[in-house]
Amino acid sequence: MSTRDVPEQIGDLPKIGRPATSALLLLGVTTLADVAPMRRQDLLALHGVGPKAVRILGEALAAAGLDFAAERQE
């Protein structure tokens, strides 16, 4: 799938760039609730997902009262 064919934004996810959006779509991730169980380092390991995309996702999660898996206080 070419990144030109990927929507700029999906679900309630913030705009993180088409390569990062494409990587999440390939995993079936389309919402912040889908991102919350993931760890930052797992996202960074995805082709097309860089530190800026992870930072933007982290800010969106925080605004929604969520956090990445490894950062949650159990």
Q: What is the DSSP string of 27-51?
A: HT--SHHHHTTS-HHHHHTSTT--H
Each domain of the chain, given as residue ranges in start order, spans 3-71
Please give the share of the chain, as a percent, with pLDDT higher than 70. 91
How far is 24 from 21, CA to CA, in rounded Å?
Answer: 5
Which residues are CB-contacts of 73 (< 8 A; sequence separation ≥ 6)?
Answer: none
Nearest alpha-carbon partner for 26 in 49, 53, 55: 49
Tell me which CATH code domain 3-71 carries. 1.10.150.20
How far is 59 from 38, CA to CA, in rounded Å?
Answer: 14
- pLDDT reported for residue 49: 97
pLDDT in tens, 21-52: 999 999 999 999 999 999 999 999 999 999 99
